[in-house]
């Protein structure tokens, strides 16, 4: 098995306001790769900006291991969102990323409670993904998808998705998102580990309804992202499950700091390195 690979995947915080800052952060921590997100210079598809970022990354020996986008391809503007995703797939190719990853149906729980609405959104998502995949693969970029939100999530829901999409999509094992379905990531990996091509390291904790930045679960509870090792995710068991399938891809450390908390970043990197040692 190859040595486990860590990548920095973050939302902007004071120390990181540009992709160049993000690449500098990777260099500072000795990380070989970053996972891009649709923010900063690349809030919308911009090929010229992507070329400059790629050049800077190459100069510093840093790779883009994945490009991720927040999108909703199941709403009233689904066609426009699909076209936007095609543009981001082109950006991913320029950045040198082998993957384009995006959310599918991030609607609130209340919006998808009706089974008929869920079914309509499911097929909008399936058809959009087929179109995005077919466009991206022409440039050597593979569309990949994680367990997320309330339709394309959970062991059973994701299994139906993989069966119906009829494309060679890759799977992102997100350690935390599945908590929204009141499940844990280990059974998800056991079910789909042979298709996992990318990982999001994330920790989650069940919290009260007054907790800031909480996510509702499919039940009556709430969960929230928390510093690695302080939540309910069994990182060791999840990594062991991945290793059973010979996973040797990147582990994106998904970090959403609200402030420039260098200590928290230090702890996250140290925790992840120790986990994968």
Instruction: Give the predicted TM-score (pTM) of the model.
Output: 0.95
Identify the band that residue 263 occupies on the pLDDT scale cut at 50, 70 and 90.
Answer: confident
| 168-218 per-position pLDDT tens digit | 999 999 999 999 999 999 999 999 999 999 999 999 999 999 998 899 999
Q: Is the pLDDT of residue 2 over 70?
A: no
Answer whether 43's CB lies under 8 Å from 80's CB: no
Percent of residues in the chain assigned helix, strand, coil, to nearest 5: 45, 20, 35
Q: Residue 4 has what pLDDT?
A: 59
Identify the CATH homologous superfamily for domain 5-276: Divalent-metal-dependent TIM barrel enzymes (3.20.20.150)
The pLDDT assigned to 12 comes to 62
d(C-alpha 63, C-alpha 57), whole Å? 6
- CA-to-CA distance for 143 and 139, rounded, in angstroms? 11
In 18-102 the beta strands, taken as DSSP E runs, fall at 33-37, 63-69, 99-102
Least confident of 57-66, 186-195, 263-272: 263-272
CA dihedral 125, 71, 241, 219 (to 10 degrees): -80
Name residue 204's beta-bridge partners.
Answer: 225
Query: Mind listing the pLDDT tens digit for each residue in 64-85?
Result: 999 999 999 999 999 999 999 9
Residues 13-55 pLDDT 10s: 778 889 999 999 999 999 999 999 999 999 999 999 999 999 9
Strands 203-207 and 222-226 turn out to be antiparallel
pLDDT on residue 257: 59
Q: What was the pLDDT predicted at 258?
A: 62
- Under the banding of pLDDT at 50, 70 and 90, the label for residue 59 is very high
Contact assessment for residue 106 and residue 56, using Cβ atoms and an 8 Å cutoff: no
Kindly state the tokens that stand for 27.
Answer: 């260099």
Res 262 pLDDT > 80: no
Which residues partner with 143 through β-bridges? Answer: 100
pLDDT at 3: 43
Sheet holding 203-207, edge to edge: 203-207, 222-226, 215-216
Contact criterion met (CB below 8 Å) for 88 and 69: yes
Q: What does the longest C-alpha to C-alpha distance in the chain come to?
A: 51
Domain ranges of the chain: 5-276
Pairing of strands 215-216, 222-226: antiparallel
Mean pLDDT computed over every residue of the chain:
94
Q: 168: buried, middle or exposed (CB in 10 Å: 19+, 13-18, 0-12)? A: exposed
Contact 204, 223 (CB under 8 A): yes
Whether 204 contacts 224, CB under 8 Å: yes
């Amino acid at each position: 098995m190859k040595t486990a690979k860590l990548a920095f995947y973050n939302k902007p915080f004071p120390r990181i306001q540009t992709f160049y800052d993000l690449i500098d952060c990777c260099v500072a921590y000795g990380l070989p790769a970053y996972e891009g997100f649709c923010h900063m210079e690349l809030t919308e598809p911009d090929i010229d900006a992507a070329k400059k970022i790629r050049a800077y990354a190459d100069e510093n020996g840093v790779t883009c291991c994945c490009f991720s986008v927040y999108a909703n391809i199941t709403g009233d503007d689904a066609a426009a969102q699909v076209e936007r995703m095609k543009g981001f797939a082109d950006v991913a190719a320029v950045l040198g990323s082998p993957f384009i990853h995006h959310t599918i149906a991030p609607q609130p729980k209340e919006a998808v409670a009706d089974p008929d609405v869920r079914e309509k959104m499911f097929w909008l998502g399936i058809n959009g993904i087929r179109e995005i995949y077919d466009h991206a693969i022409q440039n050597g970029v593979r569309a990949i998808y994680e367990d997320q939100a309330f339709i394309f999530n959970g062991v059973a829901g994701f299994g139906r998705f993989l069966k119906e999409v009829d494309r060679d999509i890759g799977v992102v094992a997100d350690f935390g998102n599945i908590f929204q379905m009141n499940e844990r990531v280990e059974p998800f990996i056991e079910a789909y580990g042979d298709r996992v091509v990318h990982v999001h390291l994330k920790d989650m904790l069940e919290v009260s309804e007054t907790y800031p930045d909480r996510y509702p679960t499919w039940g009556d509870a709430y969960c929230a992202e928390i510093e690695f090792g302080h939540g309910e995710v069994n990182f060791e068991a999840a990594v062991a499950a991945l290793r059973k399938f010979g996973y040797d891809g990147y582990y994106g450390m998904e970090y959403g700091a609200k402030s420039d908390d260098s200590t928290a970043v230090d702890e996250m990197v140290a925790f992840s390195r120790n986990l994968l040692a």
